[in-house]
Amino acid sequence: MSVAPVSRPASVLAIALALMAVYLVWGSTYLAIRFALEGGYPPLLMAGLRFIAAGGLMYAALRLRGVPAPTRAQWPNVLAMGVLLLGLGNGLVCIAEQSVSSGLAAVAVASAPIWIALFAAIRGDRPSRIEWAGLAVGFAGVLWLNAGSSLTATPTGLIALLIAPLAWAFGSVWSRGRDLPSPFMAAASQMLAGGVIILVAGLLVGERFTELPTLKGTLSVAYLTSFGSIIGFTAYVWLLHNVRPTLAGSYAYVNPAIAVLLGAWLANERFQVNDIGAMVVILVAVVAITLGRARARKPVPVPAAAGDRS
């Protein structure tokens, strides 16, 4: 009688390295975006080129390994996610960072889990008491950030950073249950499609390279492409398959702190008391919502014949 192989649990070292990648890499992307913009890259052209390069490399590598390409029915869903998560979610952050510090942009984006919980509730996923409390605290933090912080001095940055986390949250909730390819192929095709859309949008609004970008700016784009898009995302998907969702999602309240520290250290960014206060309130809310969803989630029995989907 043959015995089915038992998958070995991930080592503590592997989990720690993956978490460090997600925490540090994704937390540093906000500063890398700022350096790329300062180096002469227009925001939308930079984001589009970055995602086309990262998505194209991942797509080619996956196809060489035999991973099926998205079907004709899956491409519209992939395209919609590319518009919501990358085009609006990331593209608007790049636009905002022309006038807003990288740390403050990260704090605004940290509100995404709050909007995800709200959209999930509208869709019928009833929040627990802890989640309701987190939502209330989170909205207070968002109002504080948008009314009492230095964002008020930059209307364009304010509007962009209001829409970006809303689009990311809506796209994340909308994608649940949709017909999509395997996780890595979905990410690759989403970056590829989203990158083309962002690039075209940049050209349509008149973005052009007026001068040769600096070496620092080009290295920043290379970092965003390789570490931010490929390594960071790969580590995150691996975590989703090997640790509790609560731990994998902890990047949401670690990344802003990393971004603020890096911005202050490497770019001499300064923050008002209101900025830091709003960040603390938002992060407390995100932690409450994350813990509430973890407690509310019941274990789902896995059929004996089911295989590993990773």
More confident position, 83 or 5: 83
11: tokens are 């080592």
Look at residue 10 in the predicted model and tell me its pLDDT. Answer: 75
Predicted TM-score (pTM) of this structure: 0.85
Q: Which stretches of 56-113 are assigned E, i.e. beta strand?
A: none
Are 109 and 286 within 8 A, CB to CB? no
What 3-state DSSP class applies to 138?
Answer: helix
Q: Calculate the dihedral angle through the C-alpha atoms of 217, 220, 221, 226, rounding to the nearest 10 degrees.
A: 160
Q: What is the pLDDT of residues 265-289, one digit of tens each?
A: 998 888 778 888 888 888 888 888 8
Residue 1 pLDDT > 60, yes or no? no
Angle at 26 between CA 22 and CA 31, to 5 degrees: 150
Q: What is the pLDDT of residues 116-131, one digit of tens each?
A: 888 888 888 777 888 8
Look at residue 50 in the predicted model and tell me its pLDDT. Answer: 96
Q: What is the pLDDT of residues 234-261, one digit of tens each?
A: 888 888 778 776 677 778 778 888 998 8
Q: What is the pLDDT of residues 101-115, one digit of tens each?
A: 898 898 888 888 888
Residue 20 pLDDT > 80, yes or no? yes
Q: What is the pLDDT of residues 29-68, one digit of tens each?
A: 999 999 999 999 999 999 999 999 999 999 999 999 999 9
What 3-state DSSP class applies to 256?
Answer: helix
More confident position, 213 or 123: 213
- Distance in angstroms between the alpha carbons of the first and the last residue of the chain: 26
- The closest of 109, 106, 113, 95 to 31, measured between CA atoms, is 106
276: tokens are 């830091």
| Structural domain spans, the chain | 12-295
